[in-house]
Amino acid sequence: MKKLTQLALLTLFTLLAAGCANKQIKPVKPPSPPKSQCECATDKTPVQIPEGAKPAEIKSPEAKVAEYSLLKPAQWDEVDGLQLDDLSQAWPAWMQSCSTLVNKPVWKNVCKAATQLNEQTAQKPNSDAIQAYFRQYFSVYKTTNVDGSDSGMITGYYEPLLKGSRTKSAQYPNPLYAAPSDMITVELDSIFPELKFKRVRGRLVGNKLVPYYNRGEIETDASPLKGREFIYIDDIIDVFFLQIQGSGLVQLEGGEQVHVGYADQNGHPYNSIGRLLVERGELTLAQASMQGIKNWARNNLTKLRDLLNSNPSYVFFRELPAGLPGPLGALGVPIQGERSVAVDPKFIPLGAPIFLSTTEPNSTKPLKRMMLAQDTGGAIKGGVRADFFWGAGPDAGARAGAMKQNGKIWVFLPKEFVPNGLQNQARR
């Protein structure tokens, strides 16, 4: 989420917190808003808001762009590389999407048709059958940016493997925290419909809602999150990069592997430590990869804490059920290595099949394949923007860390699904 001005943000916090009673937050407007649970704290002086500030002044450049309105009608023969990809490799990921999309009216028919295709082919439809299915039931759209261009940045992420313990010790001193009970999340579209997908987070101080604790305040010996620890990790650098990736596998001392996944975030903006190291002259731009940053950190332990705290954003985790085939994405289903991507859900519907045309990490070798938009990310913003999930482990991490490519994206939507701005155009 792009930062709101501090004045406007605090003004909104104040209005939302004004009605705190019985440990509930009730916004002043509209008349029947949703309620959020909170715990009223009184440890700091409330923030004072200048007179005359109005929440209606809150603006966001993205708020002017209607949901999905950057999708432009395209033809199937425009999709670069569709005939060359083995679509059967993406089919299991599509069925994962359908496990939840089938509950939405506009997706129900296409998901039922996918199940019927499975039954007709003994759960193994080939690439030609899958392409025929998509052509029959879907329309294709090309993603664009606000300026009308059709290319954008494609990055990568992965599921790291960490070493940990359920007990704190000198070997495992760095906690993973569960989401705090005193953090309040306000969905802004409950008050301002044009701010769909926007939210703010904070905590109560007296009867005022103020920004939640930042990284520097959380990672102290007297952490305000004491009691929320559930696993301890051996390496603070790995914890930091786990927060960037959003999910991971933790190898416990006894050999058990535990999936941990994103639970929430403290509401502070993400500040790239790689960019900061380049600005300080500690690394060159070419060195500021994930591995380059890790190498710098291990050689500069006395500077590490200050560097990490320069990024106030902090991610909280939860332990996921055992036996999952992959980490859970924002869609709520396990994501598949090399067939799932994170997107901006304002511009690409979550769960949708997409076709990605880009290049291999740090290479000009073409990478053209069907993917599923099953995840989101704080840094994944814009119409032509995707984060490619490479899978788990060090090899996936090396490819993810090196990926910063240019690419194009096509989106497949049910013929009944008409994006904003195209309601008056007949699609067949």
How far is it, in rounded angstroms, from Cα 312 to Cα 75? 44
pLDDT at residue 64, as a whole number: 74
Domains of the chain as residue ranges with CATH: 1-37+180-224 (no CATH), 71-179+228-271+311-422 (2.40.40.10)
* pLDDT bracket for residue 421 (50, 70, 90): low
* pLDDT bracket for residue 183 (50, 70, 90): very high
pLDDT surpassing 90 at residue 244: no
Higher pLDDT, 95 or 18: 95
**Among residues 87, 162, 45, which one has the least CA distance to residue 412?**
87
How far is it, in rounded angstroms, from Cα 140 to Cα 80? 12
Q: In sequence order, what are the beta bridge partners of 369? A: 356
pLDDT at residue 425, as a whole number: 43
Q: What is the mean pLDDT of residues 370-382?
A: 92
* pLDDT bracket for residue 197 (50, 70, 90): low
Which of 54-63, 89-98, 182-191, 192-201 tops mean pLDDT? 89-98
Interval 1-14: pLDDT, tens: 333 334 444 444 44
How far is it, in rounded angstroms, from Cα 413 to Cα 348? 10
- Bond before 27 cis per omega within 30 degrees: no
* pLDDT bracket for residue 290 (50, 70, 90): confident
**Residue 348, token pair as written in the block:** 């690409």
